[in-house]
Structure 1
């Protein structure tokens, strides 16, 4: 900077000051640029670290073996609309809960000639409900441990009774998921093993005994093995996998022989004989349909689809007091903004394998709506009515619908109470 009117000394001072100011500016800008570079570099490195970590996790999950081996499956179509006989109502809200905290998961029911009702629970126990609603322990199917009922890890030790019926001799016939088919004295609780899971049928052991029915004409016991791979405590994997690994079988008490009636079934669950015992109905839970298997007549030994693409996943099927079939729906299958979860993943085995790796079994319950639904079918399989509890006020996830002496008992696999309806609101 040159100023002619100023002295050389003054000019030098000004030049020195300008140099110092310019140097300070350069230094400050350098620091600012350095800081920006440092921040940008840190962000970039942080993002890269996160990406690398996520990539490592993804690769690790990919390399982990999946517990399931699903096949692609496409359901028949979207679930039916909630209209006509399926229209929403509140008929299931007109009941009460019994034995809260005492009965945990009363899944299926039967009654003796004296009017007592029997049921099995998740802790491996078999109970008698008296006419005065008294509760009496009949027997423990396995070991009676403090942990029974609190964790599914102990089910193979404690037992889990599913289907239960009374035979012609007044004995209880019980299908235990882990211990096989038993006869139980309802008075003493003494158990007699009929067929062990390890014995199975046709060189295939049982893994998940479930539904049960007894012919009043022949005494033959019909029962289902829901899967040859998964036990009761892994039922969610069985549903997601959607493979046809189940069977319908019969046991003849006279010959003590087991016969495979149907195989390659999709999680066969509840079964019921028609009033004339010409056929039985069978629920295939994981695929949402009901089969009819003919026992007599020209179609004997054959099966046909009675109901498909159902509004929910059927569990047990029972005869009502007024000559219809009642179907407990364990999980509804409703059309909302998006298709039902199981519908969406059904065609994609890779998605199923991934979900089975990363999602704990207990978290799948969060995907299930708290909704109760019962279907009423005519003898030819036509839908004649439904009962709903849209908010789950009384119950949800119904496993059985058993009518006895004017009362309707609603089963469940895990709920800590027994819902009942007094009368039948039709």
Structure 2
């Protein structure tokens, strides 16, 4: 009898938990998304190799999530990290702290909860005046003196554009011809610390924008984008390529010529989720893949849940954000693309021995710097093996 009552009490308790979870509001409001198909096969130029494993790690434990890079004529490389810091790497691999984008707190970098006050520099570029232009996800566009670290706010997130504040500044590029700053706001709803919810929700609340440093004018060039991320100008600056991370797609946005102001898809149903896009030393485009879409035994997790809003709402309610990394493959990947999105080659690290995710691929003076969103080191390749 006691055993029967125990089973009944357990059933009632489980039912109560299930009802409670069901009634909890979900933090996301997803829509169904129908994929173009399974990810492309790993063959031809996409075939698995070990080219990324030929690199080495620098500044282990000192640089946490070096996301994006730029360099000056003296050979200094600049990058930002998850603790809100902006760094200078000297030609001799010396490391110098330039400034804190936000507050300098002991908790900065220990938890994403502190990112809104500590800041998180993403896109970093040098302008024609030798000043660093930094897109901080939370704190807006800044100009930073690369020698003194002095910061000047150019555009606050609260100001936004067309009446909509920025929530997640991300990619950045500067025209060498006009000085115009192009940048992306990945979402008007989710900040960077909730990027996993942004990807699962699969909304189209991102924008591509421009900022004129002379007039201060901000323009919305494209809206209704799926987590717009990295951008890169073509060598002649006739167009830029833009990564839509959450749907694995790359767009081309025309800046000059008869198609100016229009967009077109140059790559879809990608082998992984693209992050930053950079020009290589020889004029091709290098794309860091933050997460591959292939699994050795199971279909990709995000592919499985994409068409099912109810499943995504439930997952967002019950799975802590920190657990999602367990579902991702440890396989780093870089794509080399031509101007029309054709895959020219790839670099793989199939077991994550050097790095397990790539956010940026920056070439400077014969070295390739590999960015990441949260890894505690900087991977570099001393030679680019074509």
The TM-score normalised by the length of structure 2 is 0.99
Deviation of the 1:337 alpha carbon: 3.7
1:248 corresponds to: 208
2:287 corresponds to: 327
Residue pairs, 1:189-338, within 5 angstroms: 189-334=149-294, 336-338=296-298
Deviation of the 1:110 alpha carbon: 0.2
Deviation of the 1:335 alpha carbon: 5.0
Q: Which one of 124, 133, 141 corresponds to residue 164 of structure 1?
A: 124
Q: Are 1:79 and 1:335, in contact at CA under 8 Å, matched by a contact in 2? A: no
Residue pairs, 1:59-208, within 5 angstroms: 59-208=19-168
Cα deviation 1:372-393 (Å, max 9, x = unaligned): 1000001221001000000100
Tell me the distance in 2 between the aligned counterparts of 1:399 and 1:219: 25
Tell me the distance in 1 between the aligned counterparts of 2:270 and 2:51: 20
Q: Which one of 329, 340, 343 corresponds to residue 383 of structure 1?
A: 343
Cα deviation 1:284-337 (Å, max 9, x = unaligned): 000001000000111110000010000000000000011110000000011544
Tell me the distance in 1 between the aligned counterparts of 2:223 and 2:159: 17
Q: Are 1:165 and 1:173, in contact at CA under 8 Å, matched by a contact in 2? A: yes
Residue pairs, 1:346-425, within 5 angstroms: 346-425=306-385
CA RMSD, aligned part only? 0.7
Tell me the distance in 2 between the aligned counterparts of 1:62 and 1:171: 52
Cα deviation 1:116-151 (Å, max 9, x = unaligned): 000000000000000000000111000011111111
Tell me the distance in 1 between the aligned counterparts of 2:257 and 2:145: 35
Q: Report the structure, 1 or 2, having the larger helix content.
A: 1
Deviation of the 1:174 alpha carbon: 0.2
Q: List alignment gaps of at least 5 residues for structure 1.
A: 1-40
Q: Are 2:295 and 2:329, in contact at CA under 8 Å, matched by a contact in 1? A: no
Tell me the distance in 1 between the aligned counterparts of 2:110 and 2:298: 34
Q: Are 1:207 and 1:225, in contact at CA under 8 Å, matched by a contact in 2? A: yes
Tell me the distance in 1 between the aligned counterparts of 2:327 and 2:2: 40
1:38 corresponds to: none
Cα deviation 1:217-272 (Å, max 9, x = unaligned): 00000000000000010000000000001000000011101000000000000000
Q: Are 1:285 and 1:314, in contact at CA under 8 Å, matched by a contact in 2? A: yes
Q: List alignment gaps of at least 5 residues for structure 2.
A: none
SS in 2 for 1:286: helix
SS in 1 for 2:247: coil
Q: Are 2:60 and 2:378, in contact at CA under 8 Å, matched by a contact in 1? A: yes
Structure exhibiting the larger radius of gyration computed from Cα positions: 1
Tell me the distance in 2 between the aligned counterparts of 1:355 and 1:54: 18
SS in 1 for 2:147: coil
The TM-score normalised by the length of structure 1 is 0.90
1:22 corresponds to: none
Tell me the distance in 2 between the aligned counterparts of 1:111 and 1:132: 14
Cα deviation 1:384-418 (Å, max 9, x = unaligned): 10000001000011000000000000000000000
Cα deviation 1:25-49 (Å, max 9, x = unaligned): xxxxxxxxxxxxxxxx333222211
Tell me the distance in 2 between the aligned counterparts of 1:178 and 1:382: 34
Tell me the distance in 1 between the aligned counterparts of 2:2 and 2:230: 61
Tell me the distance in 1 between the aligned counterparts of 2:6 and 2:104: 54
